Structure 1
Amino acid sequence: MKIAKTKPPEEWSGEYLLECLHSLNSKSQIEYLMYCNFIKNMPDGRVKIKVFGSRFSMVGSRIRYVDKTRIHESSILDKFNLEWRKQ
C-alpha cells in the first residue's frame, strides 16, 4: 500500500485515511491511501467523507460517499517511515 510522502493537507483532521484501489488491468493493481475527514454516517451504511487530493497530488478536495470498511484510522501510518510523522 502506498501513501504520498509529502506533508498531509492542512485541513486534514489527522484521524482517518481512505483505502483506494486503482486497477491497471485484470492482473495488476495499485493500492494506496488518501487523507480524508469523516463527515457523517449515512442511513444506508455508507459514510460521507471529504477526501483530499488525488493519487499523485495533495491539491483540492472532494466529498465522497464510501463503504465504511474502506476507512482506516491514521494509526495505520505508523508502518510507513514518513519523515513528517517523526516530528
Structure 2
Amino acid sequence: MPRKALKPCKHPGCPNLTNGLYCAEHQFLHPDRPSAAKRGYGSRWQRLSKAYLRRHPLCVRCKAQGRFTASTVVDHIIPHRGDPHLMW
C-alpha cells in the first residue's frame, strides 16, 4: 500500500521532510497547542468579536496615541486565563 508523501518541516528555513508539521529536530520548539475552539474561541467568540469590531471600528491603542487606524482583531486587554468573567 502506498504511503503519504513527506512534507517539508514548517520551521522557517528547515529543509527536512516529515510526516507531521515539524521534523524531530524542531518538534520540541513547537509544542502541540489546542485548537482555537478548545481554548474558548468557538462560534460564540467569532460572532461577538465581529459585533465588537462593527461597534468599535478604530484600534483602541492607536486611538490613544492620536492615530486613527482600523481595528482588525479583538484582543483581551487583561489576559483571561480561563476566567469566564474576563473572557466575555
TM range, normalised to the smaller chain? under 0.3
Higher gyration radius (CA): 2
Q: Which has the higher strand share?
A: 1
Greater relative CO, 1 or 2 (CA 8 Å, sep 6+): 1
Q: Which has the higher helix share?
A: 2
User: Under a length normalisation based on structure 1, what TM-score does the superposition of the two structures give?
Assistant: 0.22
